[in-house]
Amino acid sequence: MKATYRNAIEACQKCIVDCRICLTEMAGKESMNDCPKCCIQCADACDALLKMMTSDSAYVKQYALLCAEICEYCADHCEEHKHEHCIECAKSCRACAEACRKIAG
């Protein structure tokens, strides 16, 4: 595994945790958009990228780019809510997207 992945790995891990918290908190609540569905997709994308980075896959850049797009999509939706967990999730998603874009080049 490359040392250059360290920031992205940490960002993905935090994003997964915050997306899972957001998903749990939103369970059973009305949502005006794709939150919490986006949280499921975002956590899954981050998990896939983690696997690619830790195995030093030749496809890390492609996965990182897709992960960044999904994280931004999730952040856009979570930011529309005023819940503390949604705000925290959106912040983690934005930070993760930035770290992923650095990996993608």
Contacts of 22 (CB under 8 A, 6+ apart): 35, 36, 39, 78, 83, 85, 86, 88, 89
Contacts of 59 (CB under 8 A, 6+ apart): 52
Q: Domain range spanning residue 94?
A: 3-104
Q: What pTM was computed for the model?
A: 0.93
Q: Which pLDDT does position 97 carry in this prediction?
A: 98
Q: Which pLDDT does position 1 carry in this prediction?
A: 61
Task: Give the C-alpha separation, 80 to 85, whole Å.
Answer: 12
Q: Residue 27 carries which DSSP code?
A: T
Q: Which pLDDT does position 7 carry in this prediction?
A: 96
The rounded percent of the chain whose pLDDT value lies above 90 is 81
Q: Which pLDDT does position 52 carry in this prediction?
A: 97
Pull the structure tokens for residue 69.
């797009």
**Domain count for the chain:** 1
**pLDDT tens-digit profile of 26-75?**
877 777 776 888 999 999 999 999 999 999 999 999 999 999 999 999 99
Q: What CATH number did the domain enclosing 53 receive?
A: 1.20.1270.360
